Structure 1
Amino acid sequence: MLAGHLTVCSKAAETGPCPLLPLLLHVWSLHGELLTSPAVPSLQSRLSSATQHGSNLDLHGKPPPILSLTQLEILLLLNSWYYAMYFVIEILLFIYKSLLLPYTSANLALDLVMLFLYLGVEILRIYFGSKGNLSQRKVPLTISLMLLGPSAVMAVYYMLLQTYVLRLEVTINAILLVFYVFELVLCTVGLIRFSSVRLSD
């Protein structure tokens, strides 16, 4: 459209001077058409988009308070490293007991299956605990808190109830139970703190 009007203006320039005021008025009208075109985002849509991106701000334009517990995150990290060491030690102890003790195949298979189930529960528990703590969300932290029960039961089983219990196993499982007690307290504190503010889950 603009090219056509420029052509008209150029033809008019051959016969006489192009009137400046009509040309400016026409350019202004084209500018208004471009602003109202659906291909160009309006200022209102940009403001609404900016509002969506700033939805994490409170009424005063400030970010929400940081309520994540550093102590819980450090404890979960230490727990993950300790459990990795614990798992390796338990596998080596099972090999040792199967070679030196009259371990039946059924009991050995049961203890090994439960150990691998224990590993899966611990991975999920630590993952959801860290995710809920860092994102300040109650749902993942609640899942981690619920998985703390099965983890504690497994630790008690390998400390007292498995087929053959060595003194080393009593020690390493007791350390795990100490981890669980502190994590229970800190997860509960985290849930109370996260409930004090309205955060979307």
Structure 2
Amino acid sequence: MKSIGVFSPAVNVNSAAVLSSIPLQMIYNFNIFYYVFYFLATFLMVIYKSFKGNLTEEVVPIVINLVLTIGSMLLSLYYLLWQTYVLKADVIINAILLAIYGLEEVLDVIAVSTFARIYT
């Protein structure tokens, strides 16, 4: 008998043993719910960030938008660069998202500087 991996018991390598990991499958199932939460939370934050600061011409909500967008950019970079298995679809949708985030960041800085210059 030869031990294979940390989670598997000693099994005969030549036998047809199941080597899948139950904790890994549990995490996969948890991720299904987390992605739904992530999507809804991001969607609600985009709605909040888009209308609260720009239309009221307030600097603080736009600065909060800048900070939150940086966090979203890091998550997008993870899906684009650092996950183990990256599909072409991942590359396309995350590249588009990063381009939109980059444009948003530039426009946020312009809006903040305009509001600060006019209202101070």
The TM-score by the shorter chain falls in which range?
0.5 to 0.7
Residues 90-101 of structure 1 aligned to structure 2 (within 5 Å): none
Residues 21-170 of structure 1 aligned to structure 2 (within 5 Å): 104-109=24-29, 111-112=31-32, 113=34, 116-117=37-38, 119-170=40-91
Extract unaligned runs of 5+ from structure 1. Answer: 1-101
Q: Alpha-carbon deviation of 1:189?
A: 0.3
Q: Output the TM-score relative to the length of structure 1.
A: 0.42
Extract unaligned runs of 5+ from structure 2. Answer: 1-19
* Structure 1 residues 129-161: Cα deviation after superposition (integer angstroms, max 9, x where no partner): 332111111111111111011110111122223
Residues 175-186 of structure 1 aligned to structure 2 (within 5 Å): 175-186=96-107
Higher relative contact order (CA 8 A, sep 6+): 1
Q: What is the identity, as a one-letter code, of the residue corresponding to 1:188?
A: V
> What is the aligned length?
98
Contact 1:126/1:144 (CA < 8 Å) preserved in 2?
no
Contact 1:145/1:184 (CA < 8 Å) preserved in 2?
yes
Q: 2:113 corresponds to which residue?
A: 192
Instruction: Find the aligned partners of 1:134 and 1:180 in 2 and give their Cα distance.
Output: 19
